[in-house]
Amino acid sequence: MVVKFYLQRRWWLLLVSSMLLFELTALYFQYRLELDPCVLCVFQRTAVMGVLVAGLVGVINPLNRWLRFTAYSIWGACSIWGAYTASKHAGLQLGFIEQSITCEYTAPTWFMLDKWVPWMFEPTSIYCDEIKWSFFGFSMPQVMLAIFVLLLLTLLYICVIEIRDGLKKTGMSV
């Protein structure tokens, strides 16, 4: 019998702990290495936090199809948002996009994370195009883009497996 990992709480906890590690790493970069986050950095943090919330929704009851669907939806939306902002950020740093067009803080008035949790979500740098850190030649937005793409591919893999398993259960074949 094949274990359906997406039905197990520990896999959802792995997603939560991974996203928590990314958030803690961002805070380490901000407060320990003194790399002030720009607007696009904050948007990427928000996307990571959204995936963390998706994991928490999945942890509640992984056997509940509607909770899983809700978690998948949040996970997908936040990963797409994160990939979009990371690619925009990387484009700024590589000179493909002009700074003046994209680096303004525009949060909706009903979701003012910069006011509610300023120590984590307040942009303290106005320079989105500066490269202050790199990992094997890749800037932070490029690394984050890779992370968000991996999150999307993981979600796609899980959804394909779940759909396949659902079709097998109903007697249909893939």
Judged by phi (left if over 0) then psi (alpha if -120 to 50, else beta), residue 128 lies in alpha
159 labelled catalytic = no
103 labelled catalytic = yes
Q: How many angstroms separate the CA atoms of 155 and 149, rounded?
A: 10
- Helix, strand, or coil (residue 139): strand
Q: Which residue in the list 9, 10, 32, 41 is annotated as catalytic? A: 41
Q: Which residue in the list 9, 32, 65, 128 is annotated as catalytic? A: 128
Closest-CA residue to 69 (of 155, 173, 146): 155
Q: How many angstroms separate the CA atoms of 55 and 108, rounded?
A: 24
Q: Which residue in the list 9, 78, 103, 164 is annotated as catalytic? A: 103
128 labelled catalytic = yes
Q: Which residue in the list 38, 68, 78, 164 is annotated as catalytic? A: 38
Q: Which residue in the list 10, 45, 78, 159 is annotated as catalytic? A: 45
78 labelled catalytic = no
Active site residues: 38, 41, 45, 103, 128
